[in-house]
Each structure stands twice: as structure tokens, then as C-alpha cells.
Chain A
Amino acid sequence: QQQVKQSPQSLIVQKGGISIINCAYENTAFDYFPWYQQFPGKGPALLIAIRPDVSEKKEGRFTISFNKSAKQFSLHIMDSQPGDSATYFCAASSGSRLTFGEGTQLTVNP
């Protein structure tokens, strides 16, 4: 059972544009929602994370929006840059077990 569903599977954005990736979860016990960024040949690395007691968290060009009632959260990348081209994973956990979404391959064209 896929507990975290992520969309889109792939995304192409022009440099300077906004990239938006969406995730939905099922398990209401989840209490931690991180986003990971993965470059080819590397392991995923934590990008930004949010807990359900806040609706938004911003770090530089990266923002997480969280809608607890809808059980949805999204990543917004403002002023997208070619260096942001990577695969992005949303995730959710309750305790130590982290469940990942399917991933979104982002390409930012120069």
C-alpha cells in the first residue's frame, strides 16, 4: 500500500520559474514531513521539513505548504535554477519509519 502519493512524475521548468511538487498521504499518524533532493549517483539529502502544527515553512527559495485537513503538502521552488535539476522525494513518518513518495524528476532549462 502506497501511503504517500507524489505528483507529477516529471516536471520541466524554465529558469526563473516556479516548480511545484505535490504529495498526499493517508496515515493520519504521520507527524513529520521532509523533502529530500537526490542528484544522479548520490544518495538523497534532506532539503526541508515541516511538522503538522504549521501550515508553511520557508527556507530560501524552498517553501513547504501543508494542509492537514486535506492530508496534502507541497514543495515550491521559487526562481528555479538549472542547478535545482534533480529528483525530489516527499516523505512522511511517525516515529523512525520514513515512507517516501515515488519521486519527481525536475529539469530546469537554462
Chain B
Amino acid sequence: DAGVIQSPRHEVTEMGQEVTLRCKPISGHNSLFWYRQTMMRGLELLIYFNNNVPIDDSGMPEDRFSAKMPNASFSTLKIQPSEPRDSAVYFCASAPTGGNSPLHFGNGTRLTVT
């Protein structure tokens, strides 16, 4: 079991640029979550998918953020255009079923927008 794989591990970009974060969930897990972690706001749920379908995107901060899950083994989180306040660690997590299953987190992508 390779765990949840996120790429890149670090991303530094300039304000206004497009940023794409990638996630490969654990095989067989049918729920996928995107979280953002900052010192000020802690761990915030941005969006989650169940069986590749977005279920709750109420945590997506603005229209600049979008997420897709084209298949069971891949998801992306895109920020366009990026802003300095988007700087954070973005985590992807997967779970084997819906409610109350343990989340398995990746090691995150540290995004810095200058």
C-alpha cells in the first residue's frame, strides 16, 4: 500500500499564475478529500468527492479554486489565478467508504505564492 500520493511536494509560484495540485488516492478508497492547513485557520475541508462525484464544495474559498476527479485514481485542485493568501499546505486524503471512516492523508503540497 503506497498510501495517498501528492505532487508536487513543494510549489513556489508568482501571484497570478495557475497552480495545479495532484493527488492519487489509495486504491479501493471511494472517498477523497482536499484540506488546506494554515497557522491561522488550521485544517479546513475544501471539498470532498464520493465515487468521483463532488459531494460538498462549500469549503472552497473562491471561484479561483476548482477541483476535479476524472477517475477513481486521480484528482486535481487548481487555483487560477493564485494569490499570496493562498500560501498554505494542501492535503489530499482518502477513505474506504463514506461516513466515519478513517482518513488517510498524503504528505501534502506546500504552496508558496509570492
Q: Does B91 contact A (CB under 8 A)?
A: yes
Question: Across the interface, do B45 and A99 meet the contact criterion of CB distance under 8 Å?
Answer: yes
Question: Across the interface, do B93 and A96 meet the contact criterion of CB distance under 8 Å?
Answer: no
Q: What are 29 A-B interface contacts by the 8 Å CB criterion?
A: A31-B100, A32-B99, A32-B100, A41-B107, A42-B108, A43-B4, A43-B106, A44-B43, A44-B91, A46-B102, A46-B103, A46-B104, A49-B102, A51-B100, A89-B43, A93-B100, A94-B99, A95-B99, A95-B100, A96-B48, A96-B55, A96-B56, A96-B98, A96-B99, A96-B100, A98-B45, A101-B42, A102-B42, A103-B42
| A49 CA to B100 CA, complexed, in Å | 10
Contacts from A to B (Cβ < 8 Å): 31-32, 34, 36, 41-46, 49, 51, 89, 93-103
| A44 CA to B102 CA, complexed, in Å | 11
Question: Across the interface, do A43 and B108 meet the contact criterion of CB distance under 8 Å?
Answer: yes
Residue of B91, B100, B105 contacting most chain A CB atoms (<10 Å): B100
Q: Which residues of A contact B75 (CB under 8 A)?
A: none
Q: Which residues of B contact A94 (CB under 8 A)?
A: 99
Q: Can you name 11 extra interface pairs (CB under 8 A) apart from A46-B102, A46-B104, A51-B100?
A: A31-B100, A43-B93, A43-B107, A43-B108, A89-B42, A96-B50, A96-B55, A96-B95, A97-B56, A102-B42, A103-B42
Q: Which residues of B contact A93 (CB under 8 A)?
A: 99-100
For this complex, into which size category does the number of interface residues on chain B fall? Answer: 20 to 34
| A56 CA to B93 CA, complexed, in Å | 27
Residue of A44, A45, A98 contacting most chain B CB atoms (<10 Å): A98
Q: Does B31 contact A (CB under 8 A)?
A: yes
Q: Measured between C-beta atoms, what is the minimum distance from B90 to chain A in Å?
A: 10
| A36 CA to B35 CA, complexed, in Å | 14
| A33 CA to B64 CA, complexed, in Å | 32
Q: Measured between C-beta atoms, what is the minimum distance from A48 to chain B in Å?
A: 10
Per-position 1/0 for B72-114, Cβ under 8 A of A:
0000000000000000000101010011101111111000000
